[in-house]
Every structure is written in structure tokens, then in C-alpha cells.
């Protein structure tokens, strides 16, 4: 069964075509700058790469062009071979806690929650609508970034604010990166069995940590929005909310402008003053840049604090997993984080830790908690969810 996975942004469309259940990637690519003058697309297939500058006024044209290319390049013989399209959708609120077959009526229902994900949800749904129109006889499935976290109990997802805020306005922790954390859980289940307690550390430009017990989310760091939790590339993570009205007065800016700064000009970028990319910050730190050294230590400490707290919530984790860009490739950052939780008896082997981008155990044999690096694969998780629902 051929399954297409799609992540549609406001001006982009990322895709992968899988042969399932073999999990073979037949093609992948990215349509960029949709709606702009210099739009283009890239398709990788069978060891080849095709790059084309092409006028893409909207997502419908991008989808149409993708369908044409899949056939003309011989990746598939006809569009009838595609049996499912899985769409990454940021926010399903409490209503959508499982992969869901998408129709125009369901999309309208999901759009009620666009105010909870204003930057992503409209684009995700626009992409889904384009595929439903282009492939009317194919099953389209929505896979929600928030879904995996809906297994949290009230004591974890409710905020200590007036209860009416939750009942009337949906103010609660939703959590994000759910597709990635679910994938990590599935891999640890394969390695260690179902009754495994996992601290999944998805650390990239965005980042979140998730405590998982036997497939159930106990807690996660991102909250009502992806701004909460650990320090990230450009996001502040948790701060005292009283800072917002205070700095509004000092800078003469609106609440929306300050929140935008907390989302786009804070985190590693804000502290280092150099970059939101951990590689750049690490390089400058090694050259003695004090603000970059400080940024790295704050970053590691924020992550370590949550790992320690989640170990307590799980009554002792079985495994800590590093994943995503920094988690999979940040040799020095992994060591810094583990060094900051030495009181838990966690130890890594420096030689085992000296690698990037593959599944590997990096903890010592006498470490009280195993530590693994497991590369995430959100596209494959979407394909698996789509395949299983269709099947």
C-alpha cells in the first residue's frame, strides 16, 4: 500500500511517499515559497534529485504538480496506486485524540481550533483540502501533533487558574511534538517491551520533553502553546508571566509584540546574541564567548531540571531518550545535560556518546537509568497511523 505523508505550511508543502507496511521511502521532497515569485520544488527518488523553479501561486497548484511529477518520473504508474494521504495537523484540541479520516465536514470541525494554532492549523487544513480535491477517491487522514498527549490525566493538563477558564475557553496544557514522542515510544516498546517508562527528549530548534509510562503520557513540557517548557532556539520556555506586562511598559509594546519576541527572539538566540542554531552557539562557546557559554549552560540546565522532575513523576524512569536535531547530533550538549543529573546515578560513556544520527545506547553498564539516542521519524509515524487506520 502506498501512503503519502504531507506537512503543509503557509508557503510550503513537505511530502514523503512510503510503501507500507515495508516502510520503504519511495520519494520525498519539498515545495517552497508557495505564493511567492521565486517558488520552487525538490523531489528525491531512487537515488536522484530533481530541483525545479516553478510558479506555485497556491497549494492546489503545488499538489497538482506533485501528482504530475510522481507519475512522469516513474515513481508510480498511476495515481490509483496511492491509497492514503496522511496529513500532519498541529492542533486537534481535546476532540481529536486519534488519527481521523478527513472530510470537508471534519476539516470544518477542526478549523474551530485554528485560534489555538493560528500559524499552523489553517495551512495544515488548506493542504488537506487541496489533496481531498485532487484525489477525491483516496482516504485522507489527519494525524494531530496534540493527540498523543491527550492521555494525560487532569492533574497534569490543568493549570492552577480559575477552573472556568478551562471549561469555557479550553485553557489547559495540550502538548506538542506528539507524533515524534509517539514514534520514540514505539521504538522503546520494540526494544524493551510495553511496560517501559520513558523520558523522551525531543531537542531541536523547538524542543519538548515527555514522560511516558507504558504508552500513556504522564506529562509533557509544552503547554497551551509551544512556547512553554524548556528553553529552545528562539523560544524562552517557562518564564514568570508577570514579566510580560512589566516589559510591555518598559518597551512600549503590546502583549502580542512581547509574545512574538518570546517566540522568535529569545532562547539560545536571546541569551547568546549570536544564533538560534546550537551548532553556532557551541562553536562560539568553544572560542570563549561568555554569553554563548552561558546560553549553553542555561539550555542544558533547563532540560536537566525537567528530566529530574519527570524521573520522579515516573517513580524511576527506565530509559532517557535523546532525539531530534540537537538530541541526535549534539555530542557535547548530551554530555552537559547528563552531567547535570549525576545525582540520579545516570552516567554516559564518552566514547559511546561520540557519534551523530543513529540509534545507540550511550549510557554505561552501571548507569541507574539507560540513556539512548533514537533518531525520530515523524513522517513514518504519520504513515503508520494512516496505514493502520485505513487497514
pTM of the model: 0.93
Domain ranges of the chain: 2-144, 193-378
Q: Quick one: pLDDT at residue 118? A: 83
Distance of CA 327 to the CA centre of its chain: 13
Task: Give the integer Cα–Cα distance in Å for 4 and 383.
Answer: 7
DSSP 3-state of 311: helix
pLDDT digits (tens, 9 = 90+) for 287-332: 999 999 999 999 999 999 999 999 999 999 999 999 999 999 999 9
Give catalytic residue positions: 145
pLDDT digits (tens, 9 = 90+) for 72-87: 999 999 999 999 999 9
The answer, yes or no, to whether the previous bond of 21 is cis (omega within 30 of 0) is: yes
pLDDT digits (tens, 9 = 90+) for 198-229: 999 999 999 999 999 999 999 999 999 999 99
Q: Quick one: pLDDT at residue 116? A: 87
Q: Quick one: pLDDT at residue 37? A: 87
Of 36, 38, 30, the closest CA to residue 12 belongs to 30
List, for the chain, all residue ranges whose pLDDT scores fall below the cut of 50: none
CATH no., domain 193-378: 3.30.420.40
Could you give the C-alpha distances from 258 to 119, 231, 246, 264, 350, in angstroms and in order?
Answer: 17, 16, 10, 10, 41
CATH no., domain 2-144: 3.30.420.40
Task: Give the integer Cα–Cα distance in Å for 380 and 376.
Answer: 9
Mean pLDDT of the chain: 95
Lookup: cell for 187: 521504538
Q: Quick one: pLDDT at residue 175? A: 96
Q: Quick one: pLDDT at residue 117? A: 84
DSSP 3-state of 369: coil
Sign of torsion over alpha carbons 49, 35, 79, 88 = positive
Q: Quick one: pLDDT at residue 27? A: 97
Q: Quick one: pLDDT at residue 79? A: 94
- For residue 86, the cross-strand partners are 5, 141
Amino acid at each position: 500500500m502506498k501512503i503519502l505523508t504531507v506537512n503543509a505550511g503557509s508557503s510550503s508543502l513537505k511530502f514523503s511517499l512510503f510503501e507500507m507496511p515495508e516502510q520503504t521511502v519511495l520519494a520525498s521532497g519539498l515545495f517552497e515559497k508557495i505564493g511567492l515569485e521565486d517558488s520552487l520544488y525538490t523531489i528525491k527518488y531512487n537515488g536522484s534529485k530533481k530541483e525545479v523553479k516553478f510558479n506555485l501561486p497556491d497549494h492546489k497548484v503545488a499538489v497538482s504538480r506533485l501528482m504530475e511529477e510522481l507519475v512522469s518520473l516513474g515513481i508510480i504508474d498511476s495515481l490509483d496506486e496511492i491509497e492514503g494521504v496522511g496529513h500532519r495537523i498541529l492542533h486537534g484540541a481535546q476532540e481529536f485524540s486519534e488519527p481521523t479520516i478527513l472530510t470537508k465536514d471534519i476539516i470544518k470541525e477542526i478549523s474551530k481550533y485554528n485560534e489555538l494554532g493560528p500559524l499552523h492549523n489553517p495551512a495544515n487544513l488548506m493542504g488537506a483540502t487541496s489533496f481531498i480535491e485532487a484525489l477525491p477517491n483516496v482516504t485522507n487522514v489527519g494525524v494531530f501533533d496534540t493527540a498523543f498527549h491527550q492521555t494525560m490525566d487532569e492533574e497534569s493538563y490543568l493549570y492552577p487558574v480559575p477552573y472556568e477558564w478551562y471549561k469555557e475557553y479550553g485553557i489547559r496544557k495540550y502538548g506538542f511534538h506528539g507524533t515524534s514522542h509517539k514514534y520514540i515510544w514505539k521504538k522503546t516498546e520494540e526494544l524493551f517491551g510495553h511496560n517501559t517508562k520513558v523520558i523522551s527528549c525531543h531537542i531541536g530548534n523547538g524542543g519538548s520533553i515527555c514522560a511516558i509510562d507504558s504508552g500513556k503520557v504522564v506529562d509533557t513540557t509544552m503547554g497551551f502553546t509551544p512556547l512553554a517548557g524548556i528553553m529552545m532556539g528562539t523560544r524562552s520556555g517557562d518564564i514568570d508571566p508577570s514579566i510580560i506586562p512589566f516589559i510591555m511598559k518598559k518597551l512600549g509594546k503590546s502583549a502580542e509584540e512581547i509574545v512574538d519576541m518570546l517566540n522568535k527572539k529569545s532562547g539560545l538566540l536571546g541569551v547568546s546574541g549570536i544564533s538560534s542554531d546550537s551548532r553556532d552557539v557551541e562553536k562560539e562557546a568553544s572560542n570563549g564567548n561568555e554569553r554563548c557559554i552561558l546560553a549553553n549552560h542555561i539550555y542544558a540546565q533547563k532540560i536537566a531540571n525537567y528530566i529530574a522532575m519527570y524521573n520522579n513523576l515516573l517513580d524511576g524512569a527506565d530509559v532517557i531518550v535523546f532525539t531530534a536535531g540537537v538530541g541526535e547530533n549534539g555530542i557535547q550538549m548530551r554530555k552537559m545535560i547528563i552531567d547535570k543529573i549525576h545525582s540520579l546515578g545516570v552516567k554516559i560513556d564518552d566514547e559511546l556518546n561520540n557519534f551523530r544520527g543513529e540509534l545507540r545506547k550511550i549510557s554505561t553498564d552501571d548507569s541507574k537509568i539507560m540513556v539512548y539516542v533514537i533518531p525520530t521519524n515523524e513522517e513514518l509515524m504519520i504513515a503508520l497511523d494512516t496505514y493502520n487506520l485505513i487497514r
